[in-house]
Structure 1
Amino acid sequence: MDIEKTKEYFRQMLRRKDFMALKEEMSKLAVQDVAEILNQMDEKESLLAFRLLPKDKAAEVFSYLSDKIRTAFSQMIEEDELKSLVEDLFFDDKIDFLEEMPANVVKKILQRTPESERRLINQFLQYPEHSAGSIMTIEFVDLKTDMTVEQALCHIRYTAPKKETIYTCYVIDQQRHLLGAISLKDLVLADPSSKIEDLMDKNIITVRTDDDQEYVASLFKKYDLLSMPVVDRENRLVGIITIDDVVDVLEEENTEDIQKMGGISPSEESYLSQSPITMAKNRLLWLIALMVSATFTGRIIQKYEDLLQTMVILAAFIPMLMDTGGNAGSQSSTMVIRGLALGEIRTRDAFKVVAKEFMVSIIAGISLAGLNFIRLIAIEKVSTSIALVVSITLIAVVVMAKVVGGLLPLLAKIVKIDPAIMASPLITTIVDAMALVAYFNIAKLFLKI
């Protein structure tokens, strides 16, 4: 489906006030597609189209709308209509919505919420950001050990409409301690008279409410889970995390890592929704830090100013050596950062990483130096001594860059800093300084200056 064409088609129907046709067209689309179209429309047009949706579909679409559109809706529609919308959201979507809304909107919604649910919402809102507790839902199916399969299936049929997922059911005791889990498939295939206690799986993967969401995502990947129970310190079941929430976590974490690797302070807002001032503020701190750190390379060049005046041609190869070093270091840091994120590399593997990057750098450095030597002699027509200096420096720079690029993310992990910070901008700055020092010292040694 072409979203842009469909959006324009929707707008034409709104202008013609052909509301019945628009309602029919929206009913044919998946809720995610409707939300994507509404996100790209003018706020007033979007709200008008949204109000044509049936109540059950409206709540689903609302959960997929952008924070910007949802905030606009919450300020334009009546309190009763907003309350009705929020009530129909699954609990975890409701929490996500309230976390992003202005305080006055949250206050209005909580004032009209039953006290029991209000206590639960407040509890969820107090969980640490990016923790398992902050992304879990309380809408799951729980069973008792003394239930028969037949009783369990009846219980599921009765409660399923209000639950986010029913594919895995969790077995608890009277104090809500988690005892085991059983899949809907196993229940359907089992003897109706069998006891849940005899069928449940007691070896289940759990997380605590204060566990980091990135750790939760790694467990989902490792064990191929669709949902995971969240327990408190006394092993009481307080909620579950579903795979759709983990996909959101992975997207959020990957976006954050990419921003940090690019030297940008992380932001949860989309690119187009951020103001130029906000974007500049997120980038300026890093640019200042990198600019200041880059002055070290200037100091190094000043230190060897006499050498450059004696052999001016050396200056022509500085950009190539620095760029090659930065690129080589970025390759290594990117691979190690990704390996750390996927759990393929541990901090104890530091020596293995250094050894591997050293071997790679030797192969890459000699290959680049060989090609460069031939180019300088055959094309640039420089002297053999200059070509030799530049080529040997190239090997040294690639070796240093790849070892440093592989090692810095591991050091960051050890001191509990996000390894993504040790990416291209920072690696390039460090390697530039090292490349210049190596270049000038090798030149002095070989050229006898």
Structure 2
Amino acid sequence: MNKITPEELLQLADDKKFLVIKERLSEENPIDIAGLFGEIPPERVAPFFRLLPKELAADTFVEMDSDMQEKLITGFSDYELHALVDELYVDDTVDIIEEMPANVVKRILASADPSMRSDINEILKYPGNSAGSIMTTEYVTLKPTMTASEAFDRIRQVGSDSETIYTCYVTSKDKKLVGVVTVKELLLASKEKTVAELMTENVIFAYTDEDREETVNRIRDYGLMALPVVDKEQRIVGIVTIDDALDVLTEESEEDFSKMAGVVPTETPYIKTSVLDLWKARIPWLLLLMISATFTGAIISNFENKLASCAVLIGFIPMLMDTGGNSGSQASVSVIRAISLGGISIKDIFRVLFKELRVGLLCCAVLAVCNFGKMFLVDKLLMGRTEEIDIQVMLTVCLTLAVTVVIAKLVGASLPLLAKAIKLDPAVMASPLITTLVDAISLLTYFGLASVFILG
């Protein structure tokens, strides 16, 4: 059956065909329903939402944006809110709470049962960038002495309230994690085999206070569907599932992209972000870069008198600064990506610098030769500036270009690694900062060489 459209949904409601709406919506995916609700007037969403079966309603609610969630919660009765919260997984409830104002949070917590409220508060106490903050406390635990048959009885008993049942976690009497076993391994084993015989003892896990990005990278590297999270005593307290890992990777990528573009990261979608919030996100970096440009201005001013005697040099400054900035940005983006994928660390800095040195030498050779040809054919002959642009000017510009490109590659490669070493986000050292630094270096190099070959 074709997916229901917003226009069709509204028309069915106007015709009071609510049974048809309920049947059609029940066949849709929660993500599609959330998208559908986002395309109709907000004030008309609640009646449609109430037509959804409990489990589908909870899954759909999780996929909605925070504004729509808040509007629905405000319109819910205490009974309706309790029924919804009762169907939500703990980690999804925590994600919703973090986006809601205080008055809505109080209603959500009041609607949760004591056990769920305790789990929510437990997760909320962890730092926002830790593994503990993204874990769920709903998972399946087994005892080593259980048989495969008893393990399935246990899975049937608690599985409906667990976020995943494929991977089960084996714990000792004091809740310490001693192994993992999959449903596949249990299913293929004889009923009498014990969990201890089937489990894998070498468990990949994360600590509650471990950085969440490192945690999700571990899930990716080991190809896991879920990763157990333990406390300092090795007691399992939760798991991070693949869907939460994907959310974190998306958030981290967006955050890095913002920082690399010189914008303070924000979680609000662009279209819903106010002009004032966008201004707040952009102005700090713009002010910093404007102030840092004072150094390049000071360098030019210092050579102002000498430049007056050879004004042709001024025309090549933008090209040199832009090429240097672009070269540094290329290196920094490559290194930042390698750091985020776990491919390199600070101990690899000399290997990285040696690689970028060779890349820089190859790039500068091609750029210098091409620029020499361009200056000779275009600037000197085609534009008729034969007296202004002589061999000394061309050599000065091309040598500066070569030196700038090599230095820019080294600076662009080293700064992200150094930032990582001192516990800063490598993305902070991306384009804007590197470009400003390389601009200053290129000007000093340019005027230094010009002083030797031309200005005297």
The TM-score, its normalising length taken from structure 1, stands at: 0.96
Residue in 2 that maps onto 1:234? 233
Q: Deviations over 1:406-438 (max 9, x none)?
A: 111111112211110000111111111111111
Alignment correspondent of 2:334: 335
Deviations 1:166-201 (A, max 9, x none): 101111122211121110000000010111111111
Q: For residues 376 and 8 of structure 1, do their structure 2 counterparts lie closer, same or farther at Cα, with a shift above 3 Å needed?
A: farther
SS of 2:270 mapped into structure 1: coil
Shift of 1:18: 4.4
Asked if residue 397 in structure 1 is aligned to residue 394 in structure 2, the reply is no
Give the superposition deviation at 1:126.
0.9
Moved more, 383-392 or 424-433: 383-392
Q: Which residue in 1 is equivalent to 2:55?
A: 56
Partner of 1:439: 446
**How many positions carry a matched residue from both structures?**
448
What does the per-residue CA deviation read over 1:72-111, in whole Å, with 9 as the maximum and x for residues that have no partner? 2112222321221111111211111122211111212223
> What amino acid is aligned across from residue 447 of structure 2 in structure 1?
F
CA distance in 2 between partners of 1:100 and 1:144 (Å):
37
* Contact 2:119 2:137 (C-alpha < 8 Å) held by counterparts: no
Structure 1 residue 15 displacement after superposition: 5.0
- State the distance in 2 between where 1:35 and 1:298 align: 53
Taking the aligned partners of 2:432 and 2:162, their CA distance within structure 1 comes to 47
Distance in 2 between the 1:41 and 1:281 partners?
31
Partner of 1:148: 147
Q: Please give the root-mean-square deviation of Cα atoms over the aligned residues, in Å.
A: 1.8
Shift in CA distance, 424/17, structure 1 to aligned 2, threshold 3 Å: farther
1:15-56 Cα shifts (integer Å, max 9, x gaps): 555444433332232111111232344321333332222222
Residue 423 (structure 2) aligns with: 416
2:87 counterpart letter in structure 1: D
C-alpha displacement at 1:377, in angstroms? 0.5
Shift of 1:362: 0.8
In the TM superposition, residue 115 of structure 1 has moved relative to its aligned partner by 2.8
Tell me, yes or no, if structure 1 residue 114 matches structure 2 residue 113. Answer: yes
Indicate the SS of the match to 1:272.
helix
Which residue is 1:208 aligned to? Answer: 207
**For 1:322 and 1:183, how far apart are their aligned partners in 2?**
57
Code of the aligned partner of 1:167: Y
For 1:130, the equivalent position in structure 2 comes to 129
In 2, distance between residues paired with 1:265 and 1:15?
45
Preserved CA contact (<8 Å) 2:135 2:238: yes
> Are residue 384 (structure 1) and residue 383 (structure 2) matched?
no
SS in 1 for 2:174: coil
Matched ranges for 1:39-54 at <5 A = 39-54=38-53
Inter-CA distance 422–11: structure 2 relative to 1 (3 Å threshold):
farther
Shift of residue 383 of structure 1?
2.2
- The CA distance in 2 between the partners of 1:17 and 1:309, in whole Å, is 82
**Distance of 1:18 and 1:262 partners within structure 2:** 50
Q: Distance in 2 between matches of 1:423 and 1:93?
A: 33
What SS class does the counterpart of residue 233 from structure 1 fall into?
coil
Read off the aligned partner of 1:197 and give its amino acid letter: A
Question: Partners in 2 of 1:38 and 1:179 — Cα distance?
Answer: 45
Q: Secondary structure at the match of 1:216?
A: helix
Cα displacement (A) at 1:298: 1.1
Equivalent in the alignment of 1:367 = 366
2:189, 2:296 → 1: CA distance? 72
Shift of 1:11: 4.1
Query: Given residue 157 of structure 1, which amino acid in structure 2 is its aligned partner?
Result: R
Q: Secondary structure at the residue paired with 1:147?
A: coil
The gaps in structure 1 that reach 5 residues or longer are: none
Change (3 A) 1:107 1:431: same
The 8 Å contact of residues 14 and 45 in structure 1, kept in 2 or not, is answered as no
Q: Which amino acid aligns with 1:112?
A: S
Deviation at 1:12, TM superposition (A): 4.4
> Distance in 1 between the 2:293 and 2:246 partners?
38
1:352 partner letter? R
Please state if 1:10 is matched with 2:9.
yes
2:406 is aligned with 1:407: no
Secondary structure of 2:202's match? coil
Q: Which amino acid aligns with 1:396?
A: V
Change (3 A) 1:442 1:6: farther
Q: Which residue of 2 aligns with 1:300?
A: 299
CA distance in 2, matches of 1:323, 1:205: 46
Q: Is the 8 A contact 2:90 2:119 kept in 1?
A: no
Partner Cα distance (1:171, 1:224) in 2:
20
Q: What does residue 314 of structure 2 align with? A: 315
- Between the aligned residues of both structures, percent identity stands at 44
- CA distance in 2 between counterparts of 1:19 and 1:282 reads 45
The aligned residue for residue 429 of structure 1 is 436
Given the two structures, how large is their TM-score scaled by the length of structure 2? 0.94
Residues 359-368 or 106-115, more deviating: 106-115
AA at the equivalent of 2:264: S
* Runs (5+) with no aligned partner, structure 2: 381-388
Q: Secondary structure at the match of 1:229?
A: strand
Aligned-pair CA distance for 1:252: 0.9
Matched, 1:221 2:220: yes
The residue number in structure 2 matching 1:274 is 273
